[in-house]
Structure 1
Amino acid sequence: MKSALIAASALTLAACGGAGGDSRDSVRVVGSSTVFPFAKTVAENAAISNPGMTAPLIESTGSGGGFQLFCNGVGAQTPDITNASRRMKASEFATCQENGVTDIIEVQVGLDGIAFASAQGGIMMNLTPEIVYRALAAAPYGGEQTTQLWSDVDPSLPSEPILVYGPPSSSGTRDALKELVLEAGCKANADMKALKETDEDKYDQVCTEVRSDGKYVDQGEQDNLIVQKISNNNKSIGVFGYSYLEENADKVQGLPMNGSEPTYENISSFAYPGARPLFMYVKKAHVDAIPGLKEYMAEWAKSWDADGPLAKIGLVASPDDVRAANLAKVTDLTPMTGDELK
């Protein structure tokens, strides 16, 4: 049955560009809310650079939701690209392969940081991964979560209620929060390092599960909503991509992590603990079939330099050698093998 569905999808894809309800004449992109503003700018510039090209449709579905849509199969009814604020998981790659999405081009488009921020003039703290973990974990170090105030976590912090607005579980930003901050704070404890060796599932639960008692508020896939929430409550903290911090510098202020401010320079050098790569994943089978897909990919490569248009709206450029390697992927359409995810 599955092979029949894949064959049907391939026939539909072959019809792209022609008449018929299943064909389309523009690129469709889904995925990360963090990558969304960059992808939208690239889409607008690609349409300007290529007269007659229909502007790509960019949808913000979250990284996890984007991979689900992307891996459904090939054909005009499926997305050409999914953006992600984390790397594809091996399980997602396997799902793609099972559904006939066998040639996937992985492109690192730049860097971003998971910024912790408050309203301008609002609460200010010097954070560490351990502080964030102890404040937000459902069961810090396997014990009961009893902290109510920031000062309960560390006496040097303000005696203000913990209230953090952040991304949902489907978001790549949430995955990065878990991996780069929560887990880093958790495994600083020797017992947790030992637990990883004996019971990795329990370790993952203890180290990455976020409390659900209202101290951490899931604000959906739109980072702008988090900016609005903390702007209206100067005792609250928000977690979102660095680009939203820079875009809203008149409303919000970044909080330092390990003494490092969430700035372009600190993210670029990975001095800031929340620095992370951003990706787009492209179906090679769609490149020649979907009008404008090659041009859209080329526009990304023209835009991601340190002095390019995306840097002006908050994208942090990858190092020179990384940009060169990913330009080659865009040019040569080199697919992943899956080994990259091990």
Structure 2
Amino acid sequence: MNRILNSRIFKTSVIAASIGMAGAAQAQEAEQLRIVGSSTVYPFASYVVEEFGATTEYATPVIESTGSGGGLRLFCNGVGNDTPDITNASRRIKVSEFKRCQENGVTDITEVMVGYDGIAFAQSSVNDPMPLTREQIFKALAAKVPVDGKLVKNPNETWSDVDSSLPDREITVYGPPTTSGTRDAFEELVMEHASEDMEAYGGKAYTDIRSDGAFIDSGENDNLIVKRLSENTDAFGIFGYSFLEENADALLGSSIDGVKPTPEAIGSGEYPVSRSLYFYTKNQHSEEVPAMMEYANLFLSEKMIGDMGYLKGLGLIPAPKDVRAEQRKSLKNQEQLELADLEK
């Protein structure tokens, strides 16, 4: 009888211990910060992640490069352990994405701008420099272009077809997918800008990119585009400035509308294909995931995003000092992003 009772006590203890271990594992999983989003912001965020894991008591956050659109889709899926706490973005959240967040219960979001970046249009450094205008790039990549006043399927096969002053090189451009913030920004800053004054498009911006092989969707891995440019030296690639700076010995960025992609030109906005970089915090997770605010504060610290910060060495263009201070204040107060902010 005592043997049976002892056996039952032992089994109960094992079950209780197992439940306790499972609960602890779930708690640890909940507390471990999860970050998704932009491939452009990824190198900067990854550096902060490693520093955070090495210098704090928290577990090293899990970070995944999903693209800006892909990250915001995951972020806006809802609230809970199975959704990310932070998403990075190389463009601002869209109104449609914000509304989806609200519909799914993600109602308390803080927007944080961490600095600037430019979109490089680059080729292998074995070539001579090839200055371009946004109109020339548009005519090379648009799905339809005006010919004799009518919109037709893009017939341009070489850059000299676009403009006789350009080299007789086949048009091949490796670029980001539709889920990428870099793609969104490129369409807005290059395609929309170049087309909005063209009569053939009826005064509307045109952003459709050709799908006949001249433009090659290369996924969210910008390093893959860099690699392909070393293999196909006639091709161009579209990616964040940080990748151009990191591979300055192998790549040559084109000037756009007469302005070279430099940190100074990007930071001042003179370079016409410049943009802001962001991350978004899901404040409803802040109590269950205390690492979230600690990580975000580290990201916004002067040692990371300041004029002499570590991330500048990776290609991030620092925002002005007063803008950095505003972003820290917004994060500290967990200022809630409103729909009206996005519709300004």
TM-score after normalising by structure 1:
0.89
2:114 corresponds to 1:101: no
For structure 1, the 5+ residue unaligned runs are 1-16, 197-202
Q: Deviations over 1:10-49 (max 9, x none)?
A: xxxxxxx963647433110000000000000111112233
Tell me the equivalent position of 1:237. Answer: 236
Q: Partners of 2:188 and 2:78 in 1: how far apart?
A: 29
2:174 corresponds to 1:165: yes
Is the CA contact (8 Å cut-off) linking 2:117 and 2:276 kept in structure 1?
yes
Match of 1:195 among 185, 200, 203: 203
Tell me the equivalent position of 2:223. Answer: 224
Q: Deviations over 1:192-213 (max 9, x none)?
A: 4x433xxxxxx4xxx1010001
For structure 2, the 5+ residue unaligned runs are 1-21
With 279-288 and 115-124 compared, the bigger mean Cα shift is at: 115-124
CA drift at 1:251: 1.2
CA drift at 1:99: 0.4
Is the CA contact (8 Å cut-off) linking 2:126 and 2:233 kept in structure 1?
yes
Q: Partners of 1:310 and 1:289 in 2: how far apart?
A: 28
Tell me the equivalent position of 1:48. Answer: 54
Is the CA contact (8 Å cut-off) linking 2:112 and 2:278 kept in structure 1?
yes
Is the CA contact (8 Å cut-off) linking 1:113 and 1:267 kept in structure 2?
yes
Tell me the equivalent position of 1:179. Answer: 188
Equivalent residue letter for 2:32: S
Instruction: Work out which of the two has the higher radius of gyration on C-alpha atoms and give 1 or 2.
Output: 2
With 183-192 and 241-250 compared, the bigger mean Cα shift is at: 183-192
Equivalent residue letter for 2:39: S
Q: Partners of 1:20 and 1:276 in 2: how far apart?
A: 40
CA drift at 1:256: 0.6
Pairs aligned (count): 315
Tell me the equivalent position of 2:248. Answer: 249
2:330 corresponds to 1:321: no
CA drift at 1:190: 4.2
Q: Partners of 1:126 and 1:235 in 2: how far apart?
A: 15
Is the CA contact (8 Å cut-off) linking 1:123 and 1:234 kept in structure 2?
no
CA RMSD of aligned residues (A): 1.5
Tell me the equivalent position of 2:296. Answer: 297
Is the CA contact (8 Å cut-off) linking 1:111 and 1:318 kept in structure 2?
yes
Q: Partners of 1:57 and 1:123 in 2: how far apart?
A: 42
Deviating 4+ runs (over 3 angstroms): 20-23
Equivalent residue letter for 2:165: S
Is the CA contact (8 Å cut-off) linking 1:128 and 1:185 kept in structure 2?
no
- The secondary structure found in structure 2 opposite 1:132 is helix
Q: Partners of 1:99 and 1:226 in 2: how far apart?
A: 35
Tell me the equivalent position of 2:35. Answer: 29
CA drift at 1:321: 2.7
Q: Partners of 2:272 and 2:281 in 1: how far apart?
A: 29
Is the CA contact (8 Å cut-off) linking 1:130 and 1:188 kept in structure 2?
no
TM-score after normalising by structure 2:
0.88
Q: Deviations over 1:161-198 (max 9, x none)?
A: 00100001110000011000111111232454x433xx
Equivalent residue letter for 1:180: L
Is the CA contact (8 Å cut-off) linking 1:123 and 1:236 kept in structure 2?
no
Tell me the equivalent position of 1:7. Answer: none
Equivalent residue letter for 2:138: Y
Tell me the equivalent position of 2:13. Answer: none
CA drift at 1:97: 0.3
Is the CA contact (8 Å cut-off) linking 1:123 and 1:235 kept in structure 2?
no
